[in-house]
């Protein structure tokens, strides 16, 4: 091939030699694609037509190299994070990599948070958490790739800060970056669904460039894979259950000390010490929550994981990592966060424990709500 041909799904360079490598397309499919003007790599093709994900091998090193490249440019950096998985999607060292370029922090998926939440309070909360992680964004904005009006506001904000420069969109996998770029393309060029979107982390492989009106570019970069996200331990069907698609309905539990909540079979929350009080779970509406006594909890889990407590599904129980326990002593409004799954808000002083599959983080943070 003389000229570089790129997959319109993920932007990777098309090649016909190595099946296991990024950008592979069978020669016959490539010919067809060239005829119609729509060349997809096999991976994106399968994803679009069969909703079937193939593994990718974009390492952290590759991602850092790419980010370092951005440091040499004069550009606006749009860092997309998932507001539902804020801690799992923030990139703490971002400034170091993108040099002196300004960062606009975009909290995506605002549509799944309860409407009662005040936006001003949420952006303020995001700004504080970003500062804690060493990020000093020029501005913080909420958006939803699924709401055209939100996208309009986002584009206006990008336009305001870009001042004639290129725009790099960066983020970890699964924050909705591809969906967002698709929405931008839709509202600018009227070309739909150019980029592959999926519920499965790691689906945007290489840079993709979208021309802006003044000849500058909006550049989508591959997502970095944060391995401590719950999504990496679950099958596709489970992922559909834990990733909220609709506004979350918070679930309130009045608990006595020594009571336990199971979030499906994926996570566990123990109320160890404190006064009887309310605990609020913010997880996908499809995740079932079960309450039991602390002293019975281990036995309950062993007996019901994969059955009453799903996900994991019965055939996944064998490979599912054991739950690991983290203890927290809480003074005031705090979220106990299960990376990628959601969180439980605690408002009274107490001692609690959060359990998650080995490898998945449980952390505490100042309550969002």
Q: Is 145 in the site for ligand GDP (CB under 6 A)?
A: yes
Selected binder of ligand GDP within 129, 162, 177, 268 (CB under 6 A): 177
Q: Which is nearer to ligand GDP, 245 or 333 (CB)?
A: 245
- 3-state SS string for 301-354: HHHHECCCECCCCHHHHHHCCCEEEEEEEECCCEEEEECCCEEEEECCCEEEEE
CB of 177 to ligand GDP, least distance (A): 3
Q: Is 89 in the site for ligand GDP (CB under 6 A)?
A: no
Do 366 and 128 meet the contact criterion of CB atoms below 8 Å apart? yes
Q: Which is nearer to ligand GDP, 90 or 330 (CB)?
A: 90
Do 293 and 327 meet the contact criterion of CB atoms below 8 Å apart? no
Q: Give 120's contacts (C-beta < 8 A, 6+ positions apart).
A: none
CB of 111 to ligand GDP, least distance (A): 5
**What is the separation, in whole angstroms, between the first and last Cα of the chain?**
55
Task: Identify whether 179 is preceded by a cis peptide bond (ω within 30 of 0).
Answer: no
Q: How many residues does the chain have?
A: 369
Selected binder of ligand GDP within 10, 76, 142, 175 (CB under 6 A): 175
CB of 212 to ligand GDP, least distance (A): 20
Q: Which residues, 233 to 262, sit near ligand GDP by CB under 6 A?
A: 243, 245
133-167 in b/e form (b: 16+ CB < 10 A) is eebebeebbbbbbbeeebbeebbebbeebbeebbb
Q: Which is nearer to ligand GDP, 223 or 357 (CB)?
A: 223
Q: Which is nearer to ligand GDP, 75 or 81 (CB)?
A: 81
What is the x/- site pattern for ligand GDP, positions 339-358, by CB under 6 A? --------------------
193-218 in b/e form (b: 16+ CB < 10 A) is ebbbbbebbbbbbbbbebebeeebbb
Q: Is 9 in the site for ligand GDP (CB under 6 A)?
A: no
Site size toward ligand GDP (CB under 6 A) is: 23
CB of 258 to ligand GDP, least distance (A): 36
Q: Is 232 in the site for ligand GDP (CB under 6 A)?
A: no
The footprint of ligand GDP (CB under 6 A) covers: 108-109, 111-112, 144-146, 171, 173-179, 197-199, 203-204, 223, 243, 245
């Amino acid at each position: 091939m003389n000229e570089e041909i790129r997959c319109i799904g993920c932007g990777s360079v098309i090649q016909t030699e190595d099946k296991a490598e990024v950008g592979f397309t069978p020669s016959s499919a490539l010919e067809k694609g060239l005829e119609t003007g729509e060349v997809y790599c096999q991976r994106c093709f399968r994803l679009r037509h069969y909703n079937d994900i193939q593994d990718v091998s974009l390492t952290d090193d590759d991602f850092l190299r790419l980010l370092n490249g951005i440091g040499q440019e004069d550009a606006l950096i749009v860092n997309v994070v998932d507001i539902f998985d804020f801690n799992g999607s923030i990139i703490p060292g971002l400034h170091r990599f993108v040099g002196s370029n300004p960062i606009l922090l975009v909290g995506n998926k605002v549509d799944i948070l309860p409407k009662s939440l005040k936006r001003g309070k949420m952006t303020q909360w995001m700004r504080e958490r970003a500062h804690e992680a060493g990020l000093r964004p020029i501005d913080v904005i909420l958006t939803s790739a699924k709401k055209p009006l939100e996208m309009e506001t986002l584009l206006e904000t990008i336009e305001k800060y870009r001042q004639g420069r290129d725009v790099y969109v960066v983020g970890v996998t699964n924050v909705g970056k591809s969906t967002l770029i698709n929405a931008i393309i839709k509202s600018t060029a009227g070309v739909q669904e150019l980029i592959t979107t999926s519920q499965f982390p790691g689906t945007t492989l290489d840079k993709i460039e979208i021309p802006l009106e003044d000849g500058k570019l909006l550049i989508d970069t591959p997502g970095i894979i944060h391995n401590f996200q719950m999504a990496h331990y679950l099958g596709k069907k489970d992922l559909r259950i834990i990733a909220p698609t609709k506004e979350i309905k918070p679930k309130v539990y009045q608990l006595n000390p020594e009571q336990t909540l199971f979030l499906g079979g994926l996570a566990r929350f123990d109320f160890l010490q404190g006064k009887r009080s309310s605990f609020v779970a913010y997880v996908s509406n499809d995740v079932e929550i079960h309450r039991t006594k602390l002293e019975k909890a281990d036995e309950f889990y062993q007996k019901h994981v994969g059955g009453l407590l799903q996900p994991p599904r019965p055939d996944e129980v064998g490979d599912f990592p054991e739950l690991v326990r983290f203890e927290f002593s809480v003074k005031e409004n705090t979220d106990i966060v299960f990376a990628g799954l959601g969180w439980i808000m605690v408002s009274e002083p107490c001692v609690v424990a959060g359990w998650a599959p080995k490898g998945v983080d449980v952390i505490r943070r100042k309550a969002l709500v």
